[in-house]
Amino acid sequence: MRPVAVAGIGKTAFGAFPDHDLRSLAVEAGQKALENGHASASQVEAFYLGNFAGPSFTGQNHLAPYVATAMGITGVPATRFEAACASSGSAFFHAVSAVGAGLYDIVLVVGVEKMTSQPTPKVTEILAGAGDGCGEVRAGATFPALFAMIARRHMYQYGTTREQLAAVAVKNHQNGAKNPLAHMRKVITMEQALAGKMIAEPLTVYDCSLISDGAAAVLIMPLERASEFTDKPVRVLGIAQTSDHVALDEKDDITTFSAVKTSAAKAYKMAGVEAKDIQFAEVHDCFTIAEIIAIEDLGFVPKGQGGPYSLAGGTCIHGERPVNASGGLKSKGHPVGATGTGQICDVVEQIRGQAGERQVKRNSLGLAQNLGGSGATSVITILGAA
């Protein structure tokens, strides 16, 4: 496999945008990535779109060529990838695989979701479709309910507390308040987080990510060609995608996501690094418990220590290992199809030293962890300075 580099990135703001449809969001992010990578639409050899539920949210199918042609990209493969909340992480994984294999040189990956076109109950129903339709969904389970069960079990097995969950929310809101593209730029206190409206006990509204619109895009190419397009290429050092059972009742232990552990092990091996070498990370905090479990499964802390480590400030921007300096899904927003590429963009910004007030000090080796559903899909990407 030949080395692959990110040459360009582009993001829209994440939020609620009644005047923007799915295509316009995707086009905005894609054009920004092309401009950032000093490339033109005519140079793109393949177009990969990450999108979870565009047909359900907007009524539009055949989304990849629908978006690509609006950008002036024609005559090349245009393919949509669906892997729940890991849709664009999966699209990125397959794009890197194709470039690494020599099938294409210049590939544009766009992730997009337009969620606010539907009322909240309908959004919840659509998202539940990423769970087990024959069991969980028929029983009425939503993702807040599923992750509430995960949180309760983690509390039972490891003594995790609501204060530790709240510490994740407080930290991510502090980071998101410094992110000009974040959906909720609002600092919250520990007291506010603990007193939030209960959604699914023990998770309050402050433990849950946002319903958002948005898009993010990444332009990739062989490392050997990256200098033709940018003076700030970022190398893909390791990447892996793995899967696991969709339903919680089929998992051996719901306090860990085995797909995260297996994909992380593969990505670490490919990159030639260990967990201790990762300097900062963007992880999938769809709920605060998910960030705590992520830093455990990634090997940043021992199992059961994610809560105490978070409460002690280990994951803060100036902590031992910054996590979600972007604000994470909790504050930045979670347009599910855009989350994976959004994380890649955030890691690239850090490595380039372009994160502004959110810039971490040690920024040469970063990781993105993108989760689909309640752990059925995991994509791990390790990026470093080229």
User: Using an 8 Å Cβ cutoff, are 335 and 210 in contact?
Assistant: no
User: Using an 8 Å Cβ cutoff, are 337 and 114 in contact?
Assistant: no
User: Using an 8 Å Cβ cutoff, are 250 and 384 in contact?
Assistant: no
Query: Rounded CA gap, 298 and 323, in Å?
Result: 12
Catalytic positions: 85, 334
Sequence letter at residue 53: A
What Cα–Cα distance (Å) separates residue 275 from each residue in 166, 320, 380, 383?
A: 25, 13, 12, 13
How many Cα atoms are found within 13 Å in the side-chain-facing hemisphere of 129?
Answer: 16
Query: Which 3-state string (H, E, C) describes the chain?
Result: CCCEEEEEEEECCCECCCCCCHHHHHHHHHHHHHHHCCCCHHHCCEEEEECCCHHHHHCCCCHHHHHHHHCCCCCCCEEEECECECHHHHHHHHHHHHHHHCCCCCEEEEEEEECCCCCHHHHHHHHHCCCCCCCCCCCCCCHHHHHHHHHHHHHHHHCCCHHHHHHHHHHHHHHHCCCCCCCCCCCCCHHHHHCCCEEECCEEHHHECCCCEEEEEEEEEEHHHHCCCCCCCEEEEEEEEEECCCCHHHCCCCCCCHHHHHHHHHHHHHHCCCHHHCCEEECCCCEHHHHHHHHHHCCCCCCCCHHHHHHCCCCCCCCCCCECCCCHHHHHCCCHHHHHHHHHHHHHHHHHCCCHHHCCCCCCEEEEEEEECCCCEEEEEEEEEC
Q: Are strands 107-114 and 213-222 parallel, antiparallel or unpaired?
A: antiparallel
